[in-house]
Amino acid sequence: MDDINTPQLTLYRGHKIEEIDGVFYYVDDGTHVANRRPWCGKCGQKDTPEGHDACLGTIPGVMNACCGHGNDGEAYIQKYASGIRSKS
């Protein structure tokens, strides 16, 4: 079992972060991850003015999407529903 005071490194949106005492911080400057960075940690491009990943831009018919920031397993596309269904 890891000691709770031992930093554990991982990635958040492509940025290296570490967990210290149950709280996550960016490794490069020590700021709390709640201060979301508006650029990709993989390619370094800043989000579009609409908040989309710059490498994807605005995709027609898509509500939101993520490039995965270097982790293909975290990439996704969420399309708008074509209709609303209700339980009868």
Note whether 43 and 61 are same-domain residues: yes
Whether 33 contacts 24, CB under 8 Å: yes
Contacts of 52 (CB under 8 A, 6+ apart): 58, 64, 65
Segments forming the whole domain that contains residue 64: 39-80
Global confidence as pTM:
0.62
Confidence of residue 27 (pLDDT cuts 50, 70, 90): very high
Query: Would you state the structure tokens that stand for residue 67, as one six-digit string?
Result: 């490039």
What is the spatial distance between Cα 36 and Cα 15, in angstroms, rounded to a whole number?
10
Q: pLDDT tens digits for 30-39?
A: 999 888 877 8
Verify that 8 and 27 share a domain, yes or no.
yes
Asked, for residue 68, whether it belongs to a domain, the answer is yes
Q: Does 48 share its domain with 33?
A: no
Is residue 33 domain-shared with residue 43, that is, in the same domain? Answer: no
> Which of 62-66, 71-75, 79-83 has the weakest average pLDDT?
79-83
